[in-house]
Amino acid sequence: MILTSAALAVFIVAYALIATERVHRVAAALGGVAGMVVLGLVDAETAFFHEHTGVDWNVIFLLFGMMIIVGVLKQTGLFEFLALWAAQKSGGEPYKLLVLLVLITAAVSPILDNVTCVLLVAPVTLSVTRRLGLPPAPYLISLILASNIGGMSTLIGDPPNIIIGSRAGLSFTDFLVHALPLTIILLVLFVVMAKWLFRKDLDHVADVHGLDDLSPGDAITNVRMLRKCLVVLVLVMVAFGLHTVLHLDPSVVAMMGAGAMVLVSRTEPEEFLEEVEWDTLAFFMALFVLVGALVQVGVIGAISEWAAEAMGGRELLGATALLFGSGIVGAFVDNIPYTTATVPVVEEMVASTSASGADSPLWWAFVFGADLGGNATAVAAGANVVVLGIAAKAGEPISFWGFTKYGVVVTAMTLVVAWGWVYLRYFAFV
């Protein structure tokens, strides 16, 4: 009992430091792991090799492979091209520009993950809005909201999807079937809603002087390299979709794609490795070990049993609690640590029902709640923190409440629509 209480205390302190950002999240997570080591709950076997208490290497290498792919693609100028194209096609119309940037972000985030997407698109958006004399805040906020919604549609689009997919055995195709249609519906609603949300900011008149002189094609630094990289990217996406047929895990597909991308582009290691977010990978690994320690002492098991008993086989109740509960909790806590800590509980809830894997509405309610809850506040998801940091560094700061007043409204709308989707798809006609 003392050991369990001590482990829970270490976890709560580490989690609180991560949530409040009093110290860097990697330092907080690694400090928590150190505490678990001192308690004797973590060793090399449990941390690196154990299936239930160790690092999920499929998640880590999937992220690592995709980061390398993005690092190579970034050098081609593709993302700058897309932003400049949007500026030119908008003709200086603020709302049209916002819609085009949202659509570009929503199209890219399912492929490259939402954090990577905003890292590439946000700086160019700042440049375009400045060139047109438009306030950047509504465009940057829209990028965040669109990336979190768009990332929900694929296995690799949002970190929670990768974690849940690995644990639940959900394939790339499963996400396309179960999550993509809802994502499209939510994006259409958001585009319509954005005109009302940002109505004051979209009244600005753009400075269209020099707009016709923009040449998006000049942003492409190496056309031949871009063509080769796009061929590899398409093959990677196809392999993700067919990984159950090919008997290749998504992590293996990502690593093979990264190797092929480096090979065809002839990029030097220092060029693509500097784009790898090492702190994100370290954070993930530490979180897996932290949660694994709670599994060791039985905390996760006890919570799982309680949740399964409380649900009592009533899947609609469980799905509703997971969707809205994840959305509310995810508003205050980064959805990555929340998902890591909660996924074993959901696994036990699913085990107490007749459906499993992609057929279980509980997994999809969890996916939708964790992803959409990331839009609620400025600290709810990695993409939010990244874009606000870029804005502040560029001298265009967006305050916590400056983002949150829009994020809460969009999150509430998307969660209600997502609940309706879950009900109609899994319960209404059963």
Total structural domains within the chain: 1
Residue of 125, 114, 190 lying closest to 151 (CA atoms): 114
Distance, in Å, from the CA atom of 169 to the CA atom of 363, rounded to the nearest integer, reads 10
* Residue 86 reports pLDDT greater than 90: no
In a domain, 382, yes or no: yes
Q: List, for residues 332-374, the tens digit of each pLDDT value.
A: 666 777 787 788 888 888 888 888 888 899 999 999 998 999 8
215 sits in the region (left: phi over 0; alpha: psi -120 to 50; else beta) called: beta
R_g (Cα) of the chain, nearest Å: 22
CA dist 276 to 152, 395, 414, Å?
Answer: 22, 26, 31
Angle at 165 between CA 111 and CA 306, to 5 degrees: 145
Q: What mean pLDDT, rounded, does the chain reach?
A: 83
The mean per-residue pLDDT over the stretch 199-204 comes to 79
Q: In this predicted structure, what is the pLDDT of residue 181?
A: 95
Length of the chain: 430
Q: Is 225 part of any domain?
A: no
Can you read off the two tokens belonging to residue 423? Answer: 């009900």
Give CA separation, 353 vs 150, 185, 298, 333, 357, in Å.
Answer: 30, 29, 22, 28, 11
- Sequence-ordered list of residues with C-beta below 8 angstroms from that of 178, at least 6 positions apart, any chain: 358, 364, 425
pLDDT at 213: 63
Average pLDDT over residues 248-267: 86
List CB contacts of 38: < 8 A, sequence separation 6 or more. none
Instruction: Return the pLDDT at 400.
Output: 76
Distance CA 295, CA 284 (A): 17
Q: Is 154 helix (H, G, I), strand (E, B) or coil?
A: coil
Assess if residue 100 is contained within a domain.
Answer: yes
The three-class DSSP label of residue 13 is helix
Does residue 180 lie in a domain region?
A: yes
- Is 283 contained in some domain? no
The predicted-structure confidence for 39-49, as pLDDT tens digits, reads as follows: 888 888 888 88
User: How many helices, marked H, and strands, marked E, lie in the chain?
Assistant: 22, 0
Q: What are phi and psi of 265, to 5 degrees?
A: -90, -15
Q: With beta carbons less than 8 A apart as the criterion, state whether 362 and 322 touch.
A: yes
87 occurs within a structural domain? no
Percent of the chain exceeding pLDDT 90 equals 19
pLDDT tens readout for residues 99-141: 988 988 888 888 877 777 787 788 778 878 887 788 889 999 9
pLDDT the model gives residue 285 = 86
pLDDT at 214: 62
Predicted TM-score (pTM) of the model is 0.76
Residue 151 has pLDDT above 60, yes or no: yes
Residues 226-244: tens digit of each pLDDT? 888 889 988 888 887 776 6
Q: Is pLDDT larger for residue 419 or for residue 403?
A: 419
d(CA 131, CA 154): 34
pLDDT at 211 over 70: no
Q: Are 146 and 105 in contact (CB under 8 A)?
A: yes
Distance of CA 131 to CAs 12, 67, 88, 214, 261, Å? 46, 30, 11, 10, 33
At residue 210, does pLDDT exceed 60?
no
Task: For residue 374, give the DSSP letter.
Answer: G
pLDDT at residue 7 is higher than 90: no
Q: Quote the strand ranges of 336-409, DSSP E.
A: none
Calculate the alpha carbon distances from 301 to 115, 133, 305, 335, 346 in Å.
32, 56, 6, 21, 11
Q: Is residue 260 one of the residues assigned to a domain?
A: no
Nearest to 84 by CA among 135, 140, 127, 133: 127
State which residues form the domain around 175: 92-211+298-429
The Cα 376–Cα 148 span in angstroms is: 10
Report the C-alpha gap between 319 and 22 in whole angstroms. 33
pLDDT at 333: 65
Instruction: Output the pLDDT for position 414.
Output: 95
**102 part of a folded domain:** yes
Q: Do residues 297 and 290 lie in contact, with contact meaning Cβ atoms separated by under 8 Å?
A: no
Q: Spell 334-362 as b/e; 16+ CB within 10 A means b.
A: bbbbbbbbbbbbbbbbbebbeeeebebbb
Range among 82-91, 257-266, 340-349 with highest mean pLDDT value: 257-266
Residue 360 token pair: 């279980």
408's tokens: 């809460």
- Average pLDDT of 87-110? 84
Q: Report which of 214, 238, 224, 235 is spatially closest to residue 75, judged by C-alpha positions.
A: 224
Residue 97: how many CB atoms within 10 A of its CB?
Answer: 25
pLDDT digit string, tens, across residues 294-334? 777 777 667 666 766 777 778 888 899 889 988 887 776 66
**pLDDT tens across 372-417, in order?**
998 988 767 777 877 887 788 778 888 878 888 899 999 999 999 9
